[in-house]
Amino acid sequence: MSYEGHAQDKAKILGTLGGTRGIVDSALPSITFLITFDITKNLDHSAIAALALSVVLTVIRLIRRETLQHALSGIFVVAICALIAHHTGKAKDFYLPGLIINALYAGLYLLTNLVGYPVLGLLLGPILGENLAWRKNSARKSAYTRAGWIWFGLFISRLVIQYPLYKANELNWLGTALVVMGYPLFFMAGWFTWLILRKVPTVKVVESSDLSDS
pLDDT (tens digit, 9 = 90+) per residue, 95-123? 999 899 999 999 999 999 999 999 999 98
Higher-scoring residue by pLDDT: 8, 198: 198
DSSP-derived letter for residue 70 is H
Question: Residue 67 — pLDDT band, cuts 50, 70, 90?
Answer: low
Higher-scoring residue by pLDDT: 194, 8: 194
Question: Residue 211 — pLDDT band, cuts 50, 70, 90?
Answer: very low
- pLDDT at 104 (0 to 100): 95
Q: What is the 3-class SS of 74-111, one letter each residue?
A: HHHHHHHHHHHHHHHCCHHHHHHHHHHHHHHHHHHHHH
pLDDT at residue 70 is higher than 70? no
User: What angle, rounded to 10 degrees, do the helices at 119-127 and 138-167 form?
Assistant: 120
Residue of 123, 179, 101, 192 lying closest to 151 (CA atoms): 192
DSSP-derived letter for residue 204 is P
- CA–CA dist 169, 171 (Å, integer): 6
- Residues 47, 81 contacting (CB under 8 angstroms): yes
137-166 residue pLDDT tens: 999 999 999 999 999 999 999 999 999 999
- CA–CA dist 170, 174 (Å, integer): 6
Read off the pTM: 0.80
